[in-house]
Structure 1
């Protein structure tokens, strides 16, 4: 953890010095130009080293290592560009054109790198939904660029051949990046790449916003210092370099499992839908002709908000059903697995313990055969109620299927907390009344604990399973047991 922390400090210092020199010092255009170039060269060297280090991590999948090699190529563009500009000894105007060309090459390299990152696997229908959502974000971004840069440029009478790169290629590259990062945010990534990909996405969104703002200023003839545009680019460089550092953190390399889309990504299509009425309303107010388009824009925004709110509620209900056991109302196997992965990674980062309890009912088949399946279902519901009462927050009780249950415990200061939970569950089991009959609830409970960063989800569940079988071997009464090394030998 210490090398990553030191790298973050060095990166933060480099960024602070660059921004102070660019925005905090009253320097001439030539000085600002070369300060910015020197800063980008520094970020380029830092990024190449960090990305190549991430690409050489042996415990990352091959595709992810290739992605980081491509990111190193992005930073390589920055490293090479400064010596080239120095050798060419260009004038200020020529330097601006060269910067534009280098920027486009950098964007293309970044686009290729982002395509290589492994995203979560989806079913064909979900993949189609992901593309449609990303297209919605793309259209929203297109409206922003049209309003801020392209349309004002057309009406300004500027010749597009002058500054073709900034006027045409910038928007095209930015929209391609926007589509790519929208897909990543909406689709989600494997745990090993999740946080780094978020930082990469943040960097590309800063790049998009900066180009949109600068396009607006240029199209409206608003003269600002070149350091303003360089500040956006340098912020992007810093975020991309931070992503490479984040990938090298040990907690980010523990395990490699698929995760759903990032929460912020799910909001992007809804925000994109609101772009059109928002721009229309702004235009009506800015032109001082509120009627009729201002009112129509407000009405359109209100209708869109209502429809999207209803869709959000429906989607939330659908998500809950997909992650909930229909009989008991507990979490199902998918949510159990997802929560366990998230807890293990968080606890590895925070230096805390994680635990899994596997619970299997005793004599459940005899209950079904003797009293019928309706009574068996009632017994399962009773056991679910016991788990709800006995599992402390933020623990998650789940039904894995049949008469098998499990509990995820995260954020534990010591293993003893997991043992206490198992003891409470065991003590709460006993006779219950089902349809006028007294039926004894009994279960075998296996406990396995992971020290910070010690185990993956599957290993932890495997150990809890072995402990559960040890408890079951002790007899039909409720027992709980803790995993021990000797159980592996016995298995």
Structure 2
């Protein structure tokens, strides 16, 4: 049967069958059908399949790798307790209907008694949150209060009458007293397990176990009381409680198996759980008042009443202290807003609620712009004044029922609930920006502050509170990059992780394509070589230029496999030209290397492998590196570049002059080509200063005996000016735009066909 219930469908069928059996028994009982003997037979027969079901399901949990090791260990002991229950119900059914015995205690009674210590141990072994010593002491006190209240009730109802009952042997008296003591242990263990929960909510399996034990203890107490007052007969009302408790054990074992290994909380039961000690104390006093109602008011009545009132007043005082402590724990001391703890709790609560049609929820993440200079210039008191003013502005804007909190430093969060539309979140964000632009007066200084806001609208029911906060942070980062003092909505396009995964899939799925921009002899316009430029043929957004994704690739490291793909694709295409177009052997191919590629220890091996695979000769390849590589090259970098040079590969410095190039490194590095950035070329035809700077760079390249290539040539005047300076090679839109492979092939065929004799 264990193998059969491993599947989710079989487990559901098992639970459904148990529910049907329980329903049939309940209908049979309340319908009053059949004789008392028949009702007893039906009731006793229902126990056995229920006990078999919860035992098998508990064993499934105990051996399941889906559960945490501590959870499996606890459920192994609980499964032993369930086995005792199964043996007890089976023995009871056999002895009641097939054996003529009235011995007390019977085999079934012993099995019922064994259930309590095993269940007690299993419940205490359930995993809980790691606590400090003081918290463990508080937990023990709360559990003992519940146990003490239960002890008073059990003493009044059972233990006292058992000790005074006549007609019982010493062993029968001891055994009869052991049953309610076992129930008391179950109450103590169950209250401990609930109070020691490791999440904001009590997990469903523990709640079901608690309900089952509550019904079982109530039935046990009723059974013992009936035994002391006339004898218990099968098929009576305590059986209804026992049967319902058995079905809850079935549900508890099934829910524990289905529960994810790291489940997120969906609701908070904190207040209800922590009422247990108070409820136990009140119940004990009510029972004491009932029992002492016949005593004289003087002195006993007044003393008992005073003790009860005093205890209630202490409880009320403690509840206020707990509320004050709670507010202190979840409130930011400077601004009076919620702190990160409360914001996180409310986010988890928000994530657990279903998404309603026509209602929106959103998270706003707010970061103050230029806050650090205020702190550094005017001191922390000025910074605190700005933070307090920010909190006041947020209170003026947000609605009742929304939550504003400070996460730390100058970062704030706002949770907006029940918005009519997505645009309503944007309207509130805009009003916040306007309020936060108000100047803050600090002494003789007027401090001007602005803010950037990221807005994440909840539209994924499975998104956790942490995910919503991350999305708002991503949108905040986008707002800052867009110029600050504004807000941005989160979209999947902003998600770095999702975009990185999408980019890596594009590399693996051949969504990238290499375009080629020719470099020409400026005097004649003849093609000297081509530069490989990557494009992304996005399935949704169309053809994307490198500006749309190269920065992301650099940030995430995806540029390493992307760069290798570009080099391989470009070399393969260029090798095809050499084979199919006569005279194109002299054509050079230039491919960009990112700084992260240069930093790879296997760079030389990767390049060698690609050249060997494609058949492209290394002496026709130029690898272009950026100024960031030559600024402070380490010995390993220099060694890798020299190894590439030794293969016959030319090295070029791309976009020269845009960074902070150190000229001394141009002498040390094996660089033979200098590419002038387009920013120096623009304006050389009519701006004498720009012309002088560009000419200086050309002469610098000549001084280092480098080939100089000018980029970004867009007019004939620029080309003429570069020729006059002594620059012989260039590329730009004036000559050729970047071309797809087919157009580049056609251009090269035309160029070299015209040179054939």
Task: Sort the TM-score into its range (normalised by shorter chain).
Answer: 0.7 to 0.9
Corresponding residue to 1:425 among 426, 432, 441: 432
Alpha-carbon separation, structure 2, partners of 1:212 and 1:247: 28
| Residue of structure 2 in register with 1:243 after alignment | 252
Structure scoring higher RCO (CA < 8 A, sep ≥ 6) equals 1
Residue of structure 1 equivalent to 2:472: 464
Whether the aligned pair in 1 keeps the contact of 2:163 and 2:173 (CA below 8 Å) is: no
Alignment match, 2:285: 277
Q: Report deviation, 1:293.
A: 2.3
1:153-164 to 2 correspondence within 5 Å? Answer: 153-159=162-168, 161=170, 163-164=172-173
Deviation at 1:326, TM superposition (A): 0.8
**1:196 partner SS:** helix
**How far, CA to CA, are the matches of 1:50 and 1:419 in structure 2?**
50
Aligned twin of 2:148: 139
C-alpha separation in 2, matches of 1:183 and 1:161: 33
1:180 and 2:189 aligned: yes
For 2:137 and 2:218, the matched residues in 1 are separated by: 27
Q: How far apart, CA to CA, are the structure 2 residues paired with 1:50 and 1:230?
A: 22
Are the structure 2 counterparts of residues 221 and 481 from structure 1 closer, same or farther at C-alpha, using a change threshold of 3 Å? Answer: same
The answer to whether structure 1 residue 484 and structure 2 residue 492 are counterparts is yes
Q: Distance in 1 between matches of 2:254 and 2:431?
A: 43
Which residue of structure 2 lines up, in the alignment, with residue 262 of structure 1? 270
Instruction: Report the CA distance between 1:65 and its aligned residue.
Output: 4.3
Structure 1 range deviating more: 191-200 or 233-242: 191-200
Alignment gaps of 5+ in structure 1: none
- Quick check: 1:360–1:443 contact (8 Å CA) kept in 2? yes
For residues 415 and 56 of structure 1, the distance between their equivalents in structure 2, rounded to whole angstroms, comes to 47
- What's the TM-score, normalizing by structure 2? 0.57
Q: Deviations over 1:117-153 (max 9, x none)?
A: 2222221111111111111211121111111101012
Q: Deviations over 1:6-65 (max 9, x none)?
A: 887665544332233345426555434432332222322443455466667766533334
2:134 alignment partner in structure 1: 125
Deviation at 1:201, TM superposition (A): 1.3
Measured in 2, the distance between the counterparts of 1:182 and 1:270 equals 12
SS in structure 2 at match of 1:346? coil
8 A contact 1:118–1:190 mirrored in 2: no
User: Is 1:35 paired with 2:81?
Assistant: no
The answer to whether the Cα contact below 8 Å between 1:131 and 1:183 also exists between their aligned partners in 2 is yes
Hey, what's the Cα distance between the residues in 2 that align with 1:411 and 1:33? 54
Q: Does 1:447 align with 2:455?
A: yes
Deviations 1:249-272 (A, max 9, x none): 67x766357999732221222233
Tell me: CA distance 1:83–1:236, structure 2 relative to 1, closer, same or farther (3 Å).
Answer: closer
User: Structure 1, residues 166-186: CA drift from partner, whole Å, max 9, x if none?
Assistant: 622212211211111111222
The CA distance in 1 between the partners of 2:265 and 2:328, in whole Å, is 22
Contact 2:201 2:269 in 1 (8 A): no
Question: Structure 1's 397 and 64: CA in aligned 2 closer, same or farther, altered over 3 A?
Answer: farther
Q: Secondary structure at the match of 1:445?
A: strand
Distance 2:80 2:461 in 1: 31
Provide the C-alpha distance between the structure 2 equivalents of 1:480 and 1:244, rounded to a whole number of angstroms. 46
Q: Is the 8 A contact 1:186 1:261 kept in 2?
A: no
Segment of structure 1 superposing worse, 377-386 or 346-355: 346-355
Alignment of 1:100-111 (within 5 A): 100-111=109-120
Larger Rg: 2
Counterpart position of 2:696: none
Alpha-carbon distance change, 192 to 307 in structure 1, aligned in 2, over 3 angstroms: closer
Corresponding position of 1:375:
382
Residue 233 (structure 1) shift: 1.3
Q: C-alpha distance in 2, partners of 1:206/1:94?
A: 26
Cα 1:161–1:36 shift into 2, 3 Å: farther
Partners of 1:36 and 1:144 lie apart in 2 by: 28
8 Å contact kept, 2:147–2:187: yes
Query: 1:313 Cα shift?
Result: 0.7
1:345 aligns with 2:352: yes
Residue 408 of structure 2 is matched in structure 1 by: 401
Aligned pair partner of 1:321 in 312, 323, 328: 328
State the Cα distance separating 1:101 from its structure 2 match: 2.3
1:425-465: CA deviation from partner (whole Å, max 9, x where unpaired): 33443214434754444222223345455233333333322
Moved more, 400-409 or 92-101: 92-101
RMSD of aligned residue pairs (Cα, Å): 3.8
Task: Give the SS at the match of 1:407.
Answer: strand
- On the 8 A contact 1:188/1:260 being kept in 2, the answer is no
Deviations 1:406-427 (A, max 9, x none): 2345677876665554444334
Shift, 1:102, TM fit:
2.8
1:197 maps onto 2:239 in alignment: no
Instruction: Tell whether the 8 Å contact from 2:194 to 2:202 is kept in structure 1 after alignment.
Output: no
Distance in structure 2 (CA, Å) of the matches to 1:454 and 1:55: 28
> Which of 152, 161, 167 is the equivalent residue of 1:152?
161
2:337 matched to 1:330?
A: yes
Structure 2: runs of 5+ lacking an equivalent: 1-7, 501-551, 556-757
Q: Is the 8 A contact 1:136 1:272 kept in 2?
A: yes
2:640 corresponds to: none
Deviations 1:221-244 (A, max 9, x none): 476765222222112112222333
How many equivalent pairs are there? 488
Aligned residue number for residue 641 of structure 2: none
CA contact (8 A) 2:81 2:119 kept: yes
